[in-house]
Amino acid sequence: MHIGIIGSGRWATFLAWYANKSGHAVTLCGQAHAPCFQQLQSTRSNNTVTLPHDIALTDDINNLHNCETIIIAIAAQALRDVLCDWRFSAPIVLCMKGLETDSGLRLSQVAAQCLGDNYPVAVWLGPGHPQDFIAGIPNCMVIDSKSETLKKNIADAFTSPLIRIYYGNDLIGNEIGAAAKNVVGIAAGLLDGMERNSLKGALMARGAYEISVLTAKLGGDARSAYGLCHLGDYEATLFSPHSNNRMYGERFIQGKVCDKLAEGYHSVPAFIGLARKYNAELPICQAVYDIIYTKADIEAVIEQLFARETRYEF
């Protein structure tokens, strides 16, 4: 299969490497002016992944016209702009985790708005960092889609001893969970910055629960919050030094700038909008929003969380 990759960040570059390793022909398309793509062109490396020379590099998206499947791994907020002038017919696989900030839409919904409800779209979600995969550390991930055929074709084409891929069966829950784990990742970083990482256990349990409630209100399966795309991704996001979202939260507390893409920052306003629209309580998402957007005092926010009325856990 000829695979096109749109994106040149660390995840897109890893996916190009992995698709090639899985026996597929690969063309990676990046933006000519992007420093990460310029580095790939000059060195074929991003300091984590080194691309074999049989992977083609291009800055012209039209060079992907012969690809049989196109994987998109870019910033979630850039997806609509990429798809608005789409001229392809190949299935697309969204390897991104987030919600569109202004609309609150899941990324497959953004694709449906741009391309039509019947355009073949899948999502590739779950835990894992390129640094770990390149080191040979395996993990499990999920492919989901409204199309059973597409879901199974993509999963079967990419599962391997390095990445065990499961068929997803809840597109709503998997996308919501994947986006929300980045918000919880920022919360974990805030706790790290305060040297209160013993609270991460409670954060994990209650974070998964509030997303299960939202997922059900949106029409998904509440159990998905406890699957690979949310709870299963916590270790890679709440504890890993490679996690941009965790790093963002930690540096926020330290008063330092984080120049890495932290999707949770862009998704949390969308979660607050969904909470209001569907009358769902999301205290952790609200706390993260209040701290990073309204600059609320973090000690006061945590005190308010602990002062909430006593209730049954489930």
pLDDT of residue 306: 84
Q: How far is CA 246 from CA 204, 237, 243, in A?
A: 13, 6, 5
Where does the chain hold its CATH 1.10.1040.10 domain(s)?
Answer: 171-306
- CATH 3.40.50.720 segments of the chain: 2-167
What are 8's two structure tokens? 């040149």
The CATH homologous superfamily of the domain defined by 171-306: N-(1-d-carboxylethyl)-l-norvaline Dehydrogenase; domain 2 (1.10.1040.10)
Whole-angstrom distance, CA of residue 225 vs CA of residue 231: 6
Query: Taking the domain 2-167, which CATH number applies?
Result: 3.40.50.720
Per-residue pLDDT, 304: 87
Catalytic residue among 21, 97, 152, 181: 181
8 Å CB contact between 195 and 145: no
pLDDT of residue 240: 87
Catalytic-residue membership of 181: yes
| CA quadruple 74, 75, 79, 80: dihedral sign | negative
Mean pLDDT per 10-residue run, the chain (314 residues)? Answer: 94 96 95 91 91 95 94 96 92 97 96 96 95 94 97 95 96 97 95 90 94 97 96 90 92 86 93 96 95 92 85 83
Sheet with 92-94, strands from edge to edge, namely: 56-58, 25-29, 2-6, 69-72, 92-94, 121-125, 139-145, 163-167
